Structure 1
């Protein structure tokens, strides 16, 4: 019923998203086949485009869940087309996360689509809308690591294997950061409907600074190390080693010198 309330054009996949997905497919093929002389640029384009695809799916999951929850304005805003240019904060949703990946290999949570929460009834619906985005990152991480935990790496080129490992690192990082119960992040959105009105009013002014606070805390000696140790532990549980994520990031940053160990593996 809610889906029928949106026009077909509101649900048509955007050519912008299809173009990004095409870049992901072509560059993924180039990484797999070793089409380019050096894998660095192909890995960079493959991981970046796949990361943007995951960000689009993250926001789509929020929007689609909100639509079925009762916000029928979602379709008219263009959120169901997977077009990243339609987001309320394209800079926060796409540009900044990509810059953070390029600079430091951190899966920065994106911005949020604008949901008219007053149209939605039921605390569980509000919590599910907030959880839908990071759950998409969890699913993306499971798909990326499937060859590892299924022990199906025979015949997978090392460059592609490393690229998947690094992409999985980004997805796990984004999922964990997003699920933190910090104002402004999806984790807080999950628990917010269950808090008293007074607590929500007191916390609301801090929401714009939640993500900045998280990154500030990660720079505290010992905290950042513990956080990334947790990320590595999750990846090891999914079958991805620290060496594979490191070589993936090393290949991704193709403008820097490639580690001799990674280079030897890629050219084996």
Structure 2
């Protein structure tokens, strides 16, 4: 029997998540004030912590939408606590996306929460559950880019601008990649309920390899260049230029040779 106290604990925000938010807040402050002797270290910690926060919110959005769509088992799995350690595939949901950011500066979509789809009725509900995650990345991107397209950068330190620009790049790439209609990604989950049973059965065996397929495709130089050209065009439309995203990534990867232009700001 599930008690009211049990239901409350299932939805209590995890201290792990609050700790990550605290790291993002403190290192964001350090980036803003220039408190750290090595600005790249502060930018690295700020962007990484904020990226993990967005990953937690992404998975939370899936879980919360599933709960309201009929899967009442979500709470007992711990997904509503925002604890990244509760995810079905913590390696895919958190570790690999962070590693890809560190290695290549790309917001690769992560793994999943386990949703009991048999409890949910209605194709629109299934589609909305899949869309909820990447829509969270879209919202996060809007927040990160708002100071740029609102022309509200007066008094904002250059390093903080660079960090926000790079974080926005990660959110935009995550949203676009997640919305690709490839088995295993959220984009396919959006259209899957509307496909015939025969097609779904034929595609199902390939779902575990969707993320690997995306990774392999992005290793092709021509595809990679076109993809990032599209990302840059979208960011420019939001008044974020390539210099800011470049400097943000440059500061983030502080262990590499730092561009002197970025170290002194604009």
Same fold (TM over 0.5): yes
Which consecutive residues of structure 2, in runs of 5 or more, have no partner in the other structure?
none
Matched, 1:215 2:187: no
- Report the TM-score, using the length of structure 1 for normalisation: 0.96
Question: Unaligned regions of 5+ residues in structure 1, if any?
Answer: none
CA contact (8 A) 1:6 1:75 kept: no
The structure 1 segments of at least 4 consecutive aligned residues displaced by more than 4 Å after TM superposition are none
Matched, 1:13 2:13: yes
Size of the aligned set, in residue pairs, is 263
Aligned residue number for residue 142 of structure 1: 142
2:189 alignment partner in structure 1? 189
Q: Distance in 2 between matches of 1:31 and 1:58?
A: 25
Q: Distance in 1 between matches of 2:239 and 2:63?
A: 32
Alpha-carbon distance in structure 1 between the residues aligned to 2:238 and 2:75: 36
Q: Secondary structure at the match of 2:13?
A: coil
Q: TM-score, normalised by structure 2?
A: 0.97
- Superposed displacement of residue 216, structure 1: 1.7
Q: Secondary structure at the match of 2:265?
A: helix
The alpha carbon displacement at 1:6 in A equals 7.4
Alignment of 1:104-119 (within 5 A): 104-119=104-119
Please report the RMSD computed on the Cα atoms of aligned residues, expressed in angstroms.
Answer: 1.2
Per-residue deviation, 1:221: 3.9
Alignment of 1:61-210 (within 5 A): 61-210=61-210
How far did 1:16 drift? Answer: 0.2
TM superposition shift of 1:218: 2.1
Q: Distance in 2 between matches of 1:53 and 1:238?
A: 22
Q: C-alpha deviations, 1:77-109, integer Å up to 9, x for none?
A: 000000000000000000000000000101010
Q: 1:5 to 1:121 in 2, by over 3 A?
A: farther
